[in-house]
Amino acid sequence: MKLLLDSHIYLWWLADDPRLLPSARSSISDPDTVVFISAATVWELAIKSNLGRLDVGGADLIGEIAENGFVELPVTAHHAERAASLPPHHGDPFDRMLVAQSQLEQLILVTCDAAIAEYDVATLG
């Protein structure tokens, strides 16, 4: 299984937050699962943290990728083109990027964002 974590799921994982559903927690921790963290997620969380709109609890967002055995997923021109062509179901450009990356890389997007379900993308919540 190959997963891409939405920003809130990544934070919930790092904080061992009970809002992370047991099914998602189990899938993420499965040793046969490859878990990706998008550069767009780090970008979004860093922006919100620097603006004082989000407390990341002192987490090293980049360092935690490798520390947790996850894989960094860069944003490519193909991802950008796909994100721009998506229907306007979701106004958040970071979430649209995650949808595009999930589609192009054939990843399951782990999210609790209901608006993402309107896209043609596999999800796990």
Q: How far apart are CA 42 and CA 57, in angstroms?
A: 14
Q: Please, which residues bridge with residue 4 across strands?
A: 36, 109
Q: Which CATH number fits domain 2-124: 3.40.640.10, 3.40.50.300, 3.10.20.30, 3.40.50.1010?
A: 3.40.50.1010
pLDDT band at 121, cuts 50/70/90?
very high
pLDDT of residue 125: 84
Asked if 78 and 104 count as a contact pair (C-beta separation under 8 A), the reply is yes
pLDDT digits 0-9 by tens, 24-74: 999 999 999 999 999 999 999 999 999 989 888 788 999 999 999 999 999
pLDDT band at 90, cuts 50/70/90?
confident
Give mean pLDDT, residues 113-123.
94
3-25 burial code (b ≥16 CB/10 A, e <16): bbbbbbbbbbbbeeeeebeeebb
